[in-house]
Amino acid sequence: MLIGAPATDREKNKMQREQWGSRFGFIMAAAGSAVGLGNVWKFPYLVGENGGSAFLIIYIAFMATIGIGLMMAEIGIGRYSQMNPVGAFRKIAGRGWSWAGMLGVITAIIIMSYYSVVGGWTIAYFIDTLSGAVVGGTPDELGSKFGALVGDTTRPIIYDVIFLGLTLAVVIAGVSSGIEKAVKVLMPLLFIMLIVLVARSVTLEGASAGIDFLLSPKWDEVGMGTISAALGQSFFSLSLGMGALVTYGSYLNKNDNIRSSASWVCFLDTAVAVLAGFLVMPAVFAFGFNPGAGPGLTFITLPAVFSGMWGGQLFQAFFFFMLFVAAITSSISLVAIPVSYLSEQFHMSRVKATLLVGAIVFVVSIPCSLSLGIWSDYTLFGYGVLDLLSNTVDWYLLPIGGIAVAVCAGWFAYDKIAAELTNHGELPFPLLGAWKFIMRIVAPIAITWVLVGPFLT
């Protein structure tokens, strides 16, 4: 909203504000945002690097308390204000809070810059599997195929542009006729594909070592680093701490039950992450890959699962298509944040705002992609551009955003958000007291501890 804009404009804006067509549509959109590369690509390699199921247990504990609580708060902030994150924080908690929304807008652009690069890899792999270029090979051969793609100069950037272009097209089409339509088809498809693929992976010969790895915690490997990684990942995976759910919540119908929708989204997100673990780890062990192999793990291991079997190429293509679906439903929500900000605060048309965001993201994504190839020598604190941005988001920006949401919801706007969570007293919420305690005390302390912990050890 422009300062001093005539009231009639504001009212027009409100009347024109779109809404999700149905509760199912909202849950699929929010789950689409949450379920993404974070679940299928990042989660399995983090589990691999951080001692298997001990990480999983800590992760689930964070999800079930702070994660779900913050998700309700964010959706509540959005629905209360019916605005983009900057306007939303300002409306619900006062002028001094706009920075929290602005942090979200900036974080969204940063995440999108490397997310679109990885999203581009999924398209490249999908096309390669269809054409038979990824069909089989030893772990080393599959590893060098991955290295050749991500280290190339032009190819990943071309796919990055395709991925970004598809995302922008859906966002331009609008909330209910673009985003909601797409996710209502894509998300159920993703769940079905995942279940079929997991069934294949856990029945591989030698899969049981992978299943053991996921089910027997190694507590001696757990340190402060594991706990930070689990919290950072739970925020990233649930799309928390950066305004995505404030934005999606702002299109939510006033009669919807926020508590139950948020619970569904958390459940689906966790279920997909755990299933992705059961997809990747059995294969890692069955084929003798290294579970701590890092970011290449999913791309390198999965082709091996299906190579050599009947219809294997088709399954490979199926897998990378699923990864693409997971990625694009998340990137749509990332782009929607700055787009809602620009179009509402600066009265820009949706098309113009989307194209502007696309242009900025594209420019930042180029160094991200090149940092894995010809620019790999340019580092800061030992990290290339992509890793630097991704770590800054996970370690600092999302936790700071999370603290802001918790403090705002617990201390500054408790009554307004509590009214949203109970639909002004119409819906019972027996755990409201616990939610308040988590927002006021538990979340700010736990997140601050995780944020500063690494500096103290």
Question: At which residue do the structure tokens 């819906």 appear?
Answer: 427
**38 vs 52 by CB, closer to ligand PHE:** 38
Least spacing, CB of residue 325 vs ligand PHE, in Å: 12
Task: Say whether residue 118 binds ligand PHE (CB under 6 A).
Answer: no
Task: Say whether residue 113 binds ligand PHE (CB under 6 A).
Answer: no
User: Cα–Cα distances in Å, from 31 out to 100, 187, 262, 438?
Assistant: 23, 8, 9, 23
**213 vs 248 by CB, closer to ligand PHE:** 248
Q: What angle do CA 80, 83, 88 make, to 5 degrees?
A: 65
| Interface pick for ligand PHE out of 39, 50, 81, 113 (rule CB under 6 A) | 39
Q: What distance in Å separates the CA atoms of residue 164 and residue 178, rounded to the nearest whole number? A: 15
Least spacing, CB of residue 329 vs ligand PHE, in Å: 9
Task: Say whether residue 236 binds ligand PHE (CB under 6 A).
Answer: yes
Task: Say whether residue 149 binds ligand PHE (CB under 6 A).
Answer: no
Among 261, 306, 297, which residue's Cα sits nearest to residue 276?
Answer: 297
Task: Say whether residue 239 binds ligand PHE (CB under 6 A).
Answer: yes
Task: Say whether residue 171 binds ligand PHE (CB under 6 A).
Answer: no
**37 vs 58 by CB, closer to ligand PHE:** 37
**Region for 122 from its dihedrals, namely left if φ exceeds 0, alpha if ψ lies in -120 to 50, beta otherwise:** alpha
Contact status, residue 275 vs residue 125, Cβ threshold 8 Å: no
Compose the 313-332 pattern: x for residues touching ligand PHE by CB under 6 A, - for all others: -----------------x--
**38 vs 249 by CB, closer to ligand PHE:** 38
Least spacing, CB of residue 204 vs ligand PHE, in Å: 26
Q: What distance in Å separates the CA atoms of residue 319 and residue 129, rounded to the nearest whole number? A: 10
Size of the residue set binding ligand PHE (CB under 6 A): 15
Q: What angle do CA 160, 132, 306 make, to 5 degrees?
A: 95
**Residue range at the interface with ligand PHE (CB under 6 A); choices 21-29, 30-38, 248-256, 431-439:** 30-38
Secondary structure letter of residue 204 according to DSSP? S
Task: Say whether residue 343 binds ligand PHE (CB under 6 A).
Answer: no
Secondary structure letter of residue 36 according to DSSP? S
Bridge partners of 380, per DSSP, are 383
Which residues are CB-neighbours of 212 under 8 A, at least 6 positions away?
none
| Interface pick for ligand PHE out of 27, 92, 142, 242 (rule CB under 6 A) | 242
DSSP of 96-114: GGHHHHHHHHHHHHHHHHH
| Interface pick for ligand PHE out of 198, 229, 244, 286 (rule CB under 6 A) | 244
**238 vs 385 by CB, closer to ligand PHE:** 238
**Residue range at the interface with ligand PHE (CB under 6 A); choices 36-44, 75-83, 190-198, 425-433:** 36-44
Helices 224-237 and 443-456 cross at an angle (nearest 10°) of 130
Least spacing, CB of residue 153 vs ligand PHE, in Å: 26
Residues 43-102 within binding reach of ligand PHE (CB under 6 A): none
Task: Say whether residue 249 binds ligand PHE (CB under 6 A).
Answer: no
Which residues are CB-neighbours of 139 under 8 A, at least 6 positions away?
287, 288, 289, 300, 301, 304
Question: At which residue do the structure tokens 């922008």 appear?
Answer: 168
Locate 44 and state its tokens: 């399995």
**Residue range at the interface with ligand PHE (CB under 6 A); choices 152-160, 233-241, 280-288, 433-441:** 233-241
Task: Say whether residue 298 binds ligand PHE (CB under 6 A).
Answer: no
| Interface pick for ligand PHE out of 26, 27, 32, 36 (rule CB under 6 A) | 36
**31 vs 204 by CB, closer to ligand PHE:** 31
Among 409, 399, 412, which residue's Cα sits nearest to residue 448?
Answer: 399
**136 vs 296 by CB, closer to ligand PHE:** 296
Locate 323 and state its tokens: 């990864």
Q: What distance in Å separates the CA atoms of residue 190 and residue 322, rounded to the nearest whole number? A: 6
Least spacing, CB of residue 186 vs ligand PHE, in Å: 14
Least spacing, CB of residue 326 vs ligand PHE, in Å: 7
Q: What distance in Å separates the CA atoms of residue 429 and residue 441, rounded to the nearest whole number? A: 19
Residues contributing to the site for ligand PHE (CB under 6 A): 33-34, 36-39, 111, 236-237, 239, 242, 244, 330, 333-334
